[in-house]
Chain A
Amino acid sequence: MSAKAGGPVYKGVGKLPDRALFLFSVLIYAFLYAPILVLMFFSFNSSKSTQTWTGFSTEWYGALLRDQTILDAFFNSMKVGVTATIIATVIGTFTALALTRHNFRGKLAADTTIYAATVMPEIVVGVSLLVFFVATLIPLGIELGIATIVIAHVAFTISFVTIVVRARLAGMDQSLEEAAQDLGANPITTFLRVTLPLILPGVMAGALLAFTLSFDDFVITFFVSGVGSSTLPLKIYSMIKFGVTPVINALSTVVLVATMILIFGGSRLLAGKEGE
């Protein structure tokens, strides 16, 4: 048995605790995916309802392709999500590094600010940011739009990234990085080739969280968006008054299936590359 850096290879799920853990995990995934299956089911509903089944139809997929407002909203969400995630992840990671590895005057204030950015209810963040933007950006000629949404999303997700990356950094010793520097690597190289790979799972987890928060955000986004910059949640939550139709289920199904293909396809590709 090869003693790789990842540790010994466990043999399957033979023992009872292993079996119980496996079963438990399957149940949790089932819990997470139960409503997903239901929503995919209703994407084929033959009436406007997302809760009363009346028959099978693919009309909503057709409606999806014809509805430019939904497609535009989806692409806006993607644009905002990806951009905000990248920025927030970078800034959040730097912040986590600073807070975990240094003691400095004003550290408590910094810590508190990071936490404070998570505790303010979204509606006050949204309203106050709007007023702020109107007072500062509009006179400069910057309209409300994708840019203001991205700014707002980064502002409220940085802290989440920071907190997650800190969890990863905590207790992590710096001997590898010091060794690299002793061997002559400059700070940037050390960061890119030693530190980053070590903390990558934490950074990826933070990025995932930031993207998820951004993609489904409604309240803050509503206030700081402008003409033509509606995101998907804005479109969906505004459908409540007259009823969310299965066209949203259809969109979600398409996105889910595409994501699954990407994930499994991607991991196959990587597994192929690494060889065995």
Chain B
Amino acid sequence: MQNRDAKISRGRFLKAMGAAGVAGSTLSILSCQPNTSATGGGGGSGGGPEEKELALYNWSDYVAQSTIPSFEEKTGIKVTQDFFGSNEDLLGKLQAGATGYDVIVPSDYMVTVMIKSDVIQKLDKSRIPNTKNVGDNYMGLSFDPNNEYSLPYQWGTTGILYNKKETGELDGTWDTLWDPRFEGQIAMLADSRETIGAALYKLGYSANSKDDAELAEAEAELKKQQPLLRGYFISTEIRPLVQNGDILLGHVYSGDAFLALSSNEDLDYIIPQPQASRWTDNMCIPNGAPHPDNAHKFINHILGVDTGAKLSNYTYYNTPNEAALPKIAPALKDLPGYTLTPEIFERLEVIEDVGAKTREYERIFTEVRSA
């Protein structure tokens, strides 16, 4: 059947050509900058009024029940919520060209990365009057020194949640997580920056160190610690381990600590000496957002006094909204480590993106875990 063979080979040839054509166009698109927005960045909305819609891309369970309905009622804008589970997932998706989201909620170091890789746009503060509600301690942080691109959403610290009853008083430093008395009863965060950071803090260095010698020391410390650990986990997984008594000491984010503390009196939370990290989740508007005006309205809404208080009362994380502080539930405010004194603020360090050293941190963490 000569003819049939010929027909089919020609068909396959055409398909191959088509594929090559698509590949070629893909290549050319890739060689451009990632995700240059068609509608342009910046505050100007241009053109006619926006549709009454907003696409929010947030961490799951990070809004109070009333947050979105109150916004929808006030403005008549319909909000769609979608969820991501890690900063890098969010970044990857935006860099690969996904659009359609109006407000995103990246963490501190990720804001820097997003600014540098040009996937978010500058905020027009004139449309966000509630910025005045944000406390000075939470503005102008190193990852976005003039808050040109981001405004804080929630923030917290990273410290040690432990069973005071079983361990007794601790010395208040990071050394506790290396104490052989607690072998098998310690859990660290599965976050390379936080855990390597803990080792760096223990050695008296900064968690943003780019010095090879310091990093090598930290690696050695972590390798010493590894046999003492139960494992490396996500903060929300460490919380039940400490609550259930499976382990005695956990390296956790403050929100998880507060949740645990409010249900178990044997537990305590400390922000270790000499330094500890503070983290901030922020609101940003990606390039190419279809409804930038609505996005500004939403950010303004979140920074409102009432909304801010309800939000933190739900999430158990700290609010950057100083004007909302009076409305935070007393039960929360009284928890150890929730209300911070100026001396503690002095000791807190913002985890910054370390640029090219990021891969070194990752390699160290892989090496430590594989040991």
Task: List chain A positions with a Cβ less than 8 A from chain B.
Answer: 47-52, 54, 66, 69, 127, 130-132, 134-136, 138, 143-144, 222-223, 225-230, 234-235, 237-245
B83 contacts A234, C-beta separation under 8 Å? yes
Q: Are B85 and A240 in contact (CB under 8 A)?
A: yes
Task: Return B266 CB to nearest CB of chain A, in Å.
Answer: 13
**Which residue of A47, A134, A222, A234 contacts B97 across the interface (Cβ within 8 Å)?**
A134
Q: Min CB distance, A155 to chain B, in Å? A: 15
B243 & A52 in contact (Cβ 8 Å cutoff): yes
A124 to B168, CA, bound (A): 48
A54 closest partner in B (C-beta)? B263
- Write out the residue numbers on chain B whose beta carbons fall within 8 Å of the beta carbon of A234: 82-83
Given A131-B30, A143-B100, A239-B60: 6 more A-B contacts, CB < 8 Å = A66-B65, A132-B22, A135-B22, A138-B97, A227-B100, A243-B239
Complex A-B: 23 CB contacts under 8 Å: A49-B240, A49-B243, A51-B244, A127-B96, A130-B98, A131-B30, A134-B98, A135-B26, A144-B98, A223-B98, A225-B82, A227-B82, A228-B80, A230-B83, A234-B82, A238-B83, A239-B85, A240-B236, A242-B62, A242-B255, A243-B239, A243-B256, A243-B259
Assembly CA distance A66 to B244 (angstroms): 30
Min CB distance, A269 to chain B, in Å? 39
Chain A residues lying within 8 Å of B101, measured Cβ to Cβ, are 227
In the bound complex, CA of A138 to CA of B256 (Å): 40
> Which residue in chain B gives the minimum CB-CB distance to A130?
B96
A48 touches B97 (CB 8 A): no
Residues of A within 8 A of B17 (CB): none
B85 touches A51 (CB 8 A): no
Interface pair A242/B59, CB less than 8 Å apart: yes
Measured between beta carbons, the chain A residues less than 8 angstroms from B62 are 242
Which B residue sits closest to A243, measured CB to CB?
B236
Contact residues, B111-139 vs A (CB, 8 A): none
For window 197-248 of chain B, which residues contact chain A by CB distance below 8 Å?
234-236, 239-240, 243-244
Q: Which residues of A contact B55 (CB under 8 A)?
A: 227-228
**Pairwise interchain contact A51-B97, C-beta atoms closer than 8 A:** no
Is B173 in the interface zone, CB < 8 Å from A? no
- CA–CA, A127 to B94, complex, Å? 11
| A135 near B236: Cβ-Cβ < 8 Å | no
Checking A49, A134, A135, A241 against B59 with a beta-carbon cut-off of 8 angstroms, the contacting residue is A241
Query: Are B97 and A131 in contact, CB atoms less than 8 angstroms apart?
Result: yes
**Of B29, B60, B235, which contacts A135 at CB under 8 A?**
B29
Contacts of B342 in A (CB 8 A): none
Inter-chain CA distance A50–B243, complex, in Å, is 12
A241 contacts B263, C-beta separation under 8 Å: no
Q: Nearest chain-B residue to A143 (Cβ)? A: B100
